[in-house]
Chains A and B, each alone.
Chain A
Amino acid sequence: MGYETVRADAGAIATAARLAQRKGSIDGSASGLDLAGTLPLLVDQVAGEAGVWEPAVCSRAIEQARGDVARAVSLVRAWAAMLPRRTTSRTDIGQMRTLRRITPAFREPEGGQYLGASLDYAQRLLDFDDGPVNGGVSSNGTVSANGTAASTYAAAHGLAQIPRALDGLDRRGLLSPGPVAQAIDGSRAPADAGRERGAFEQLLARGETGALTAIAYTSIRGTDAAATLAELRLGEFDVYIEHPDTGGRVRIGSVPATVAEVVLYGGRQKADGRLGVGVGATLGSVERRAISAAVLDANCAAATCEPAVAPSPSEDQEFLGIALDGQEAAGFLEHLKLPHHVTFTSVLDRIAAGGDHDDEDA
């Protein structure tokens, strides 16, 4: 059921909205604390910006931060910062247990499209009826997790996995992939590692939601290059590690994630004659995070191939490295609340001496 063919009488909008309003995280499993049940997207935002998937801890952080997302992220990151990182796990988009997949660039992609849980097409009418927050929609999970539809479809069509929507164009040599991204954990590496695409993609994955959205928006609202969302997927990745004793492959759990791929035509890419590609991935299901990340990754990858003399913020990796981390931005902005009377004494002294009023951050 490709979403472009959906009719209202098929009940798709209502079903998608009902799925989206179910209590619990995207896989339908309610966690121990209430917030993941009632405000799953808030929990997902905190998990995404923290880069830590532990919904119960995120819920706790939101409560202790009294709903302040920046502070909740700070609590979660500080908690996780001192935990050991034992190992890494590789996966790829084809391994995702897909719960939702749309391909705005392709009408009928191999593997199909699945609307999944979404409020995208539900009317935005504030509901004043008393009762459950979700307006009386059954919240006890009576709707089966339709993510199984994706795997069922794949199985029925003899596909081991749902392929990446861009695979076809890639095979035809129409994609200009940009620099190869190495897996780098920027939170455990010195800051100058941030110039690597892999570290940059991690920055995007953990970027502050509003900053990601705002800057990605500035780049698609009329710049030279046209961005097209090739694919948006939401689902779960199983996490496998090597068993320390046997060396065998062991599944230790799964993480929900949203992955977007954007192609870019024009602008820097024009001379290349191919499409630029950007990928954005984030924990949880706040989809604009992944889409924004993909747009910014595509811009910066294109800029790497063809550097601009005066890059715009949305294609300036160094600028984005400064602007996108919500913890750095919020922390430093709010440090203005700390006393500055000593430095201000220095400023007043210069003014009294007839100097100018130049000062700098302190």
Chain B
Amino acid sequence: MTTALRELLDTGPRTRSGYAFAYMDESAKREVRRALLKGVCIPGHLVPFASREMPVARGWGSGGLQVTLATITPKDVLKVIDQGDDQSMNAVGLRELIATTTGVPTTTDARRATLIQTRHRIPQDELDEGQVLVFQVPVSDPLRRISARPSVTRRLHAEGDYTALWLYLYEDTARMGRSSFTHSYPVRVDDGYVMTPSPIPRYDVPRLHQAPQLSLFGAGREAAVFAVPPYTDVVPLVFEDRAFEPERFTECCWRCDAEGSFLDTEFVDGRQRMVCSDTAWCARRRAVTE
């Protein structure tokens, strides 16, 4: 290898000493922060940004990662979950990347964390003011099922024209008596833009309404961010005479006996058990009772 190349490699993020704080260069962080500020000012609005290629694949949390790395400070305490689980493979990978490039302490306790990056869940603990919740977003536009074309959906958002989405919901209801939306249930934010809450279950959707934390959403592949500031109205799109239907669980958690938490299926000794999807919350409850 030539000396010039060696120097080139040494200046890149190859060794730990070669990392910038939080991996991204400052101009990239500034770009993301600007987009996020705009997002906070216009709740639920999709803000395009120059999404960088990250050291994780597109579609594997590269958007959430950019939001986290652009906002994290040395004083933060980090928690990363996937499906509610701190030990899920990709969550571990992301946490290691963020922790080693920032040096911030990590935790599994949602109450202690100041910054939580999540995929598909909101922690079972109620979050508080000052906490930041970063969502990884695969499909950023709630109108995607209306049109695959960003040029079309951009115009619909700009004109506040959600007729097609309401019609979609109406047809669902007329045909089946209920909405067919499973996760990613579309919500209206601050009585303005319609937004996807990311693929969280319907159970978590009402938990975004008037929530005290700042919620930031990052879609890396689709190069967009959006936000829900603290204490903002987040209302699922439902007809006046229909109730919003979260997932229902008839059982309580097999491990911690919790009632009303979001449950996941697990096979223990060949038997199907319903257990809390928030593993850290579940473990804490068990530690207390024991």
Contacts and interface: CB of A to CB of B under 8 A. Distances in A.
Contacts of A333: 59
A78 B55 contact: yes
B43 interface: no
B176 interface: yes
User: Do most interface residues of chain B lie in helix, strand or loop, or is the interface mixed?
Assistant: loop
A355 to B, nearest CB: 5
Contacts of A335: 57, 59-60, 138
B171 to A, nearest CB: 11
A11 interface: no
Given A188-B50, A191-B223, A362-B183, A331 B150 contact: no
B51 interface: yes
B180 A358 contact: yes
B83 interface: yes
A81 B54 contact: yes
A343 B52 contact: no
Contacts of B202: 346, 349
Interface stretch (B5-13, B70-78, B103-111, B231-239): B5-13
A338 B262 CA distance: 19
Contacts of B177: 354
B138 A345 contact: no
A339 B179 CA distance: 25
A345 B247 contact: yes
Given A82-B28, A341-B265, A345-B201, A354 B12 contact: no
Contacts of B222: 191
Given A77-B53, A330-B57, A331-B221, A345 B23 contact: no
B161 to A, nearest CB: 19
B131 interface: no
B58 A343 contact: no
Nearest to B2: A32
B90 interface: yes
Contact of A343 (B55, B180, B199): B199
B285 interface: no
B88 A355 contact: no
Contacts of B84: 342
A356 interface: yes
A126 interface: no
Contacts of B48: 190-192
A317 to B, nearest CB: 10
Interface of A: 32-33, 54, 56-57, 74, 77-84, 187-192, 195, 318, 322, 327-328, 330-335, 338-343, 345-347, 349-350, 353-362
25 contacts: A32-B5, A56-B5, A82-B13, A82-B52, A83-B11, A187-B52, A187-B53, A190-B35, A190-B223, A328-B221, A334-B60, A335-B57, A338-B90, A342-B120, A342-B121, A342-B183, A345-B201, A345-B277, A346-B201, A354-B177, A355-B172, A358-B180, A358-B181, A362-B183, A362-B199
Given A54-B5, A57-B8, A74-B53, 9 more contacts: A56-B5, A81-B28, A82-B20, A82-B23, A192-B150, A332-B58, A338-B119, A346-B247, A355-B176
Closest 10 CB pairs of A and B: A331-B58, A332-B59, A362-B199, A335-B59, A331-B57, A191-B223, A77-B53, A190-B48, A331-B59, A346-B182
